[in-house]
Amino acid sequence: MKLGIIGLPQSGKTTIFNALTRSSRPLAMSAGRVEITTAVVDVPDERLLKLADLFSSKKIVHAQISFADIAGLGGSDTSKGLSGQLLNALTGMDGLLLVLRAFEDPSVPHPHGTADAARDLRLVEDELLLNDLIIVERRIGKLTEERGKGGRDIPAIERELALYTGLQEKLSANKPLRETSLSSDELKQLAGAGFLTTKPLLIVLNFGEGQSAPSFPSSAPLLSLQGKLEMELAQLSPEDAEIFLKEYGLEESGSRRVIRAAYDLLNTQTFYTIGEPEAHAWMLRRGASALEAADTIHSDIARGFIRAEIVAGQELLDLGGMAAARDKGRLRLEGKEYKMQDGDVINVRFNI
Ligand SMILES: Nc1nc2c(ncn2[C@@H]2O[C@H](COP(=O)(O)OP(=O)(O)OP(=O)(O)O)[C@@H](O)[C@H]2O)c(=O)[nH]1
Ligand SMILES: [Mg+2]
């Protein structure tokens, strides 16, 4: 899972990147330049640790998320569209975390004078919308030209023109493409075109210590966290972090909340393969089948799929092992179509 942290200059992107990845990148001003830093983190997973313990697994492999701190939006001149480097970085992301500045600090100048999260959201969304509109208009120009020349399959050109004209209308009305319903065929057709408003978006309100979490109307999912505080928290040992959280009356770290929200945003769940050599957590789309789970592990395993032995991870823990799960009939044999549930432990029987 790849998540890009975006936002206006000085909104707290690097601060939050540090909090999420336990990095200590200096908070140097990007001053509108394109700068991209990436770090990969293990997804914290107590269930995985317990399962590994139960099976005396020698190796533990966590699911991973890659976070990229992407500076460069909200530069001085936004009329020409995004630079290739920025566009490349953004299109490579599965989802975007949009940091909005909600902290008050006179020593940190705001690029637009005053703190106004709603306006900042509009500014960033406008930049993404403009990018998509430029793509759409270029494509419409090209298709119109092709039609004029009587080139390839005219009905196919007409169909694509209709699709792109529809997108143009939505974008011109400031509607991000993620809010328009597109069929999976259409989405496939649009993949690779470089659209940004199709990306799932999570808004992260960065508010200051001692300030209260602002209320903020938004159609996108949203969470608020105290960036500076979370960055300090991320540098502490687990024991000290525990004390720190209590002191500040926080139930859990912002990074855990962000990761959970990201799983929801990207419609992702976890399944496990567990054995003595290795306990492994995997990410999977919610609603995916046992065959897709097998393919996540290895395409050969999917190709040779016969049956899958499946048991809910929590049940396996409660019952204390595979033998008990089998005795109690909780270890089921499922076919390719079985719909995976969050926390399932799978063992694929395959033949290649
Ligand atoms: N008081 C306060 N200051 C913060 C908070 N979050 C970030 N800052 C400060 O705001 C400034 C900018 O933070 P960064 O994390 O560097 O912001 P950025 O979005 O990465 O900035 P650019 O890379 O220049 O676009 C730094 O001086 C931070 O210390 C916060 O929650 N409270
Ligand atoms: Mg930065």
Q: What angle do CA 73, 74, 79 make, to 5 degrees?
A: 100
Query: How far, in Å, CA of 19 to CA of 35, rounded?
Result: 18
Query: How far, in Å, CA of 188 to CA of 347, rounded?
Result: 32
Which pLDDT belongs to residue 109? 84
Question: Over the stretch 222-232, which tens digit does the pLDDT of each residue have?
Answer: 999 999 999 99
43 to 1, 51, 74, 243, 269: CA distances (angstroms): 11, 15, 31, 22, 12
Ligand 2 centroid distance, CA of 26 (Å): 8
Query: How far, in Å, CA of 267 to CA of 269, rounded?
Result: 7
Judge if the beta carbon of residue 13 lies within 6 A of ligand 1: yes
Residue length of the chain? 352
Question: Over the stretch 312-335, which tens digit does the pLDDT of each residue have?
Answer: 999 999 999 999 999 999 999 999
For a mutational test of ligand 1's pocket, the pick from 15, 17, 30, 69, i.e. the residue with the most ligand atoms closer than 8 A to its C-beta, is 15
Who's near 188: CB < 8 A, 6+ residues apart? none
Amino acid of residue 36: I
Residue 110 in contact with residue 213, Cβ under 8 Å? no
Kindly state the DSSP code that residue 53 receives in the 8-state scheme.
H
Which pLDDT belongs to residue 84? 87
Using only C-alpha atoms, the chain has a radius of gyration, in whole angstroms, of 23
Amino acid of residue 128: L
Which pLDDT belongs to residue 291? 97
Closest-CA residue, ligand 1 atom 5, reads: 228
Query: 214 falls in which pLDDT band (50, 70, 90)?
Result: confident
How far does the chain reach from its first CA to its final CA, in angstroms? Answer: 29
Which pLDDT belongs to residue 79? 63
Q: Of 58, 44, 51, 46, whose CA–CA distance to 272 is shortest? A: 51
Which pTM does this prediction carry? 0.94
Judge if the beta carbon of residue 11 lies within 6 A of ligand 1: yes
Query: How far, in Å, CA of 137 to CA of 200, rounded?
Result: 23
Judge if the beta carbon of residue 14 lies within 6 A of ligand 1: yes
Judge if the beta carbon of residue 15 lies within 6 A of ligand 1: yes
Residues having C-beta closer than 5 Å to ion ligand 2: 13-14, 30, 71
Judge if the beta carbon of residue 74 lies within 6 A of ligand 1: no
Judge if the beta carbon of residue 105 lies within 6 A of ligand 1: yes
Ordered alpha helix ranges (H), the chain: 13-21, 46-54, 84-91, 117-149, 154-172, 184-190, 227-234, 238-247, 254-265, 290-297, 299-303, 313-319, 322-327
Judge if the beta carbon of residue 72 lies within 6 A of ligand 1: no
Ligand 1 centroid distance, CA of 83 (Å): 24
For a mutational test of ligand 1's pocket, the pick from 108, 123, 231, 232, i.e. the residue with the most ligand atoms closer than 8 A to its C-beta, is 108
Q: Of 160, 273, 203, 188, whose CA–CA distance to 5 is shortest? A: 203
Q: What angle do CA 286, 288, 291 make, to 5 degrees?
A: 150
- Kindly report the number of other CB atoms within 10 A of residue 111's CB atom: 16
Which pLDDT belongs to residue 59? 98
Given the CA of residue 11, which atom of ligand 1 is nearest to it?
A: 19
Judge if the beta carbon of residue 208 lies within 6 A of ligand 1: yes
Structure tokens at 172: 């011109």
Phi then psi for residue 52, to 5 deg, are -60, -40
Order of strands across the sheet with 332-334?
Answer: 59-61, 278-285, 268-274, 344-350, 305-312, 332-334
**Residue 174: pLDDT above 70?**
yes
Ligand number with the minimum distance to the CA of 10: 1
Which pLDDT belongs to residue 282? 98
Domains of the chain in start order, with CATH, are 287-350 (3.10.20.30)
Structure tokens at 55: 């099976």
